[in-house]
Amino acid sequence: MEGNFIVFNDEAAAITGYTIEEAMEMNFISIVHDDYVEETIKHFKRVTRGERESFETAILRKGTGERVNLMITAVPIKVGEEILGVVGCAQDITEKKELEALVRGQNRILKMMAKGAGFQEVLDEIVYFIEAFTDGAHCSILIADQEGMKLHHGSSPHLPPVYNAAVDGMPIGPTAGSCGTAAFFGKSVVVTDIENDPLWEHYRELALPYDLKACWSSPVFDDDQRVIGTFGMYYCSTRSPREKDRKIIEKATDLTSLVIQHYRAKEKIDFMAYHDALTGLANRRRFDERVQKAIAKTNLAQEEKVSLMFLDLDRFKYVNDSLGHSIGDRLLVHVSDKLKDCLGDGDLFSRQGGDEFTILLEHTTKEKAEAVARKILKALEEPFVIDGTDIFISTSIGMSFYPDDGEEVDMLLSKADVAMYQAKKQGRNNYQMYDVLLDRKAFERLQIENELRKALERNEFALHYQPIVNLCKNEIKGAEALIRWQNERVGHVSPDQFIPIAEETGLIIPIGEWVLKTALQQLKDWHSNGMDRLTVSVNLSIRQFYQPDLIPMIKETLELAGVEPRFLTIEITESMTMDVEKASVILHELKELGVNISIDDFGTGYSSLSYLKRFPIDHLKIDRCFVKDIADNKSDENIATTIILMAHNLGLSVIAEGVETVDQLGVLKQHHCNEAQGYHFSKPVPGEEFSKIRVPS
């Protein structure tokens, strides 16, 4: 039995493209796709031995060369014990196989994003993925700039590098080839013959030497229907798209849109974590990190110094009050731009907030620092012109130096701050170096430290609890424990004031143990009074997190309180995970203990989603700065949505902080945020008042 066709019906002819007459002269193996010949012959031989077989194979359709996937059911033709032939029934499963492959490819790309793959890597994967569904197309992704004026190279691994370089930065316009024109009009452009199409008049000499004969391009839109890129298909022969091609391009543009928007939102999150939103300058977090590095590499043997300058604009409040905050913000941007020109390439200019700025000078001397200060004062002598109004502004500058004035960032900044206030007292528009005689703030800090040392034994601390609400069930799921301090001599002291001092002095260790013990005792009391599913969240500072006996201490405190570990959530901040390896060990030990782990203030610190997958995290808390304008600002909504989507892809639940309005809550629910906390539900309250809280319906 050789496998020649003896019966070939009309349906088989439609699937294969061969006429019945042609098929009668052929062996069935001759039309099987090369990749499937060996396996198909094995199945055929089994049928000739009397077995029934169902298997998948593929052929190339005559005329079009299209690959057709088939499900074959083959049974032997028997007369008595003799097998005379084989009857085969073929079902075209091409569409089903392509759909399965599309879903697999899309899921693969989403997983790459969730695992923190780079933008370029994901774009390349889209191109490879889509090219697999075409007949020899060379695919291209171009990215539109923020102004919507030009297209820049995104990915086209199979186009010549010289061609890619030539079209990188091509203008968007009505006759700008296929891609630039598609972006300009916001609709698909099909050029079947590059050599003769007027749209390619200015670009065909770039394409034809590389045998590029046809190009179809579709615009890529974001959620607001703005063009953010194009997806193009190049062919080495003149041709028009089939319906199948149009569907593939539609899938490609949808996927490309998702990827571009995701990475732009991620880029914004990363930028916001280290930069001031108004001026684009480095923020306090970035400044602190750079100062720490500068201190570490300063060569004291060569009498090098690190200088920190603290700048405060003089009478800036008057500008805000008289001209409005909009003018005030524009003035801050103009001041930032002008003062950047006063600094060297290695110097760092940072905005601390409001009208306060800091400058880091590395490898410097006091004389060089003074020269920079004078240059800054001189630069501000000329007025700024905003909306036709001359605005005169000056600044007071305080300076501190490492190692003379301290070895820690906070100490150096504090002393530069003290010197800046002295400059204010001296009449403004001048600079002062730190001097110990100026240290009024140091005395106040020392006073807080002294009182802090006695606060525990005096029982001056209290815990307040803010509810964490399950948004699906609209019920309180847990509580975050927040410390409060009321002192007889200095009055109410905010955590922002005393926690850094406690951290620096080591007092945070006993205070942290007291917080954990008190919170668990309160939780036990709640459980005993019917709230037996409630959890409690306790924040750890960086010093607590890295204390050697952290795990035994938590375990012992849980046992003494009689609370199961699953009801305790430990909250840490992103910056505490900078030492990824060490943090990972501690977090895995905590997880083995059975407690839950939450990353607090996500999006404002060091870590990224690529690091989170290495940590046994349960919850991720979106910082309040991303929640504040979520109902009114599409960009903030996109950022929050990205965080929620990526966290869910990593198997994490998401808690939104700082929820204050119904509109904010509505957006978070719409995007499937798991839990939330904030003044919309309740301010932090003493433990005995917690049971009275009612979640708004």
CA nearest to 167, candidates 188, 142, 138: 142
pLDDT at 535: 97
pLDDT at 439: 65
Domain membership flag for residue 276: no
* Residue 575 confidence (pLDDT) above 70: no
CA nearest to 246, candidates 328, 163, 187: 187
Looking from the CA of 538 toward its CB, the CA atoms found within 13 Å total: 24
Domain membership flag for residue 3: no
Looking from the CA of 190 toward its CB, the CA atoms found within 13 Å total: 10
* Residue 410 confidence (pLDDT) above 70: yes
Q: What is the CATH number of the domain that holds 64?
A: 3.30.450.20
Q: What is the DSSP letter of 221?
A: E
Domain count, the chain: 4
* Residue 595 confidence (pLDDT) above 70: yes
Residue 192 pLDDT level (bands cut at 50, 70, 90)? very high
* Residue 65 confidence (pLDDT) above 80: no
Same domain? For 185 and 288 the reply is: no
Q: What is the CATH number of the domain that holds 162?
A: 3.30.450.40
Highest mean pLDDT among 26-30, 495-499, 588-592: 588-592
Same domain? For 236 and 347 the reply is: no
pLDDT at 440: 65
pLDDT in tens, 536-564: 999 998 889 989 999 999 999 999 999 99
Average pLDDT over residues 675-686: 96
Tokens of 694: 């009612």
Domain membership flag for residue 571: yes
Which of 269, 303, 323 marks a domain boundary? 269
Residue 679 pLDDT level (bands cut at 50, 70, 90)? very high
- Helix (H) / strand (E) element for 106: namely helix 94-114
Domain membership flag for residue 277: no
Domain that holds residue 26: 10-92
pLDDT in tens, 462-492: 999 999 999 999 999 999 999 999 998 889 9
pLDDT at 105: 82
Q: How many of the other CB atoms lie within 10 Å of CB of 218?
A: 25
Q: What is the CATH number of the domain that holds 478?
A: 3.20.20.450
Domain membership flag for residue 315: yes
Same domain? For 620 and 555 the reply is: yes
Residue 258 pLDDT level (bands cut at 50, 70, 90)? very high
Same domain? For 669 and 561 the reply is: yes
pLDDT in tens, 510-521: 999 999 999 999
Same domain? For 418 and 403 the reply is: yes
pLDDT at 454: 92
Same domain? For 544 and 589 the reply is: yes
pLDDT in tens, 67-97: 888 888 888 888 777 787 888 888 888 888 8
pLDDT > 70 in the chain, percent = 97
Choice between 606 and 304, residue whose per-residue pLDDT is larger: 304
Which of 92, 123, 158 marks a domain boundary? 92
Pairing of strands 568-573, 535-539: parallel
Same domain? For 602 and 517 the reply is: yes
Same domain? For 432 and 315 the reply is: yes
List Cβ<8 Å contacts ≥24 apart for 421-429.
421/396, 422/398, 423/396, 423/397, 423/398, 424/312, 424/314, 424/396, 428/314, 428/315, 428/394, 428/396, 429/314, 429/377, 429/394, 429/395, 429/396
Residue 606 pLDDT level (bands cut at 50, 70, 90)? very low
Q: What is the CATH number of the domain that holds 290?
A: 3.30.70.270
pLDDT at 501: 86
* Residue 591 confidence (pLDDT) above 60: yes
Residue 261 pLDDT level (bands cut at 50, 70, 90)? very high
Same domain? For 111 and 250 the reply is: yes
Same domain? For 604 and 686 the reply is: yes
Domain membership flag for residue 239: yes
Pairing of strands 461-470, 170-171: unpaired
Same domain? For 521 and 660 the reply is: yes
Which of 57, 92, 127 marks a domain boundary? 92
- Give the range among 38-47, 169-178, 217-226, 232-241 with minimum mean pLDDT: 38-47
Choice between 604 and 267, residue whose per-residue pLDDT is larger: 267
Angle in degrees, CA 112, 675, 640, rounded to 5: 45
Choice between 576 and 696, residue whose per-residue pLDDT is larger: 696
Q: What's the mean per-residue pLDDT of the chain? A: 89
* Residue 604 confidence (pLDDT) above 60: no
Same domain? For 608 and 671 the reply is: yes
Give the torsion sign (CA, 520, 521, 527, 530).
Answer: negative
Domain membership flag for residue 697: no
Domain membership flag for residue 188: yes
